[in-house]
Chains A and B, each alone.
Chain A
């Protein structure tokens, strides 16, 4: 066995726990956002998709992204941590782009999305969450041996 294989084995044995300490709060808030975004978009798409297709699709995409991040946080380990980092960055970009878009051109959105006005309808959690998650995920690597 080479030293490289041994390293892989130890990281496999002890995956970095991402849901200890502040991570548990992140998982909780992401869980809430999953339920909020998925149920909201599912209801809107099922009942009245034609009214604001773009807004409802974006809400659904947000829900899927939240769901994936929640899953990676719960799963833990280095690969999950990296995947979560990428998704949180994508989420942040999404919130900023959609938030700006809704302010610049409100006519494109007859109905609100989860990310409208930078998530104002959700106490700005959609924009604060990826920032704190990115901070936490970067720190989690520094702590993990």
Chain B
């Protein structure tokens, strides 16, 4: 079940990256709809963080260590909002590129998270 959550979050992050990359290619800054998309991805990452902590509290052990697991969960949660705030300050296509990069980074984090959890 946790693997499915990681997959959904990773795919959503890639979709967000493609969407903002498309906006950037048309020379557009991030708009309200993009921020709603970022909010959706962030909520998924938050759910993932909570579920991950609940699993730890139940006594399950990630394959590569609890500390790394929690660090990646926090990083995954903070990733897209941080890029979103930077795109708020940069109202050009470069703001969109930054959010797209944030989506790609989150997708990479999800892959690592999957390895750390152990499938």
Contact = CB atoms under 8 A, between A and B. Distances in A.
B16 interface: no
Contacts of A27: 86
Contact of B94 (A22, A32, A35, A43): A22
A28 B102 CA distance: 8
Contacts, number: 39
Interface string B76-111: 000100110011011010110110011001001000
A24 B90 contact: yes
Contacts of A23: 94
Contacts of B87: 24
Contacts of B95: 24
Given A28-B86, A43-B71, A21 B108 contact: no
B98 A28 contact: yes
A25 B89 CA distance: 12
Contacts of B82: 28, 31
Contact of B68 (A19, A20, A35, A43): A43
Interface string A70-110: 00000000000000000000000000000000000000000
A39 B74 CA distance: 12
Contacts of B67: 43, 47
Nearest to B78: A35
B75 interface: yes
A25 B90 CA distance: 10
A116 B84 CA distance: 30
Nearest to A28: B98
B68 A25 contact: no
Contacts of B98: 24-25, 28
B101 A35 contact: no
A29 interface: yes
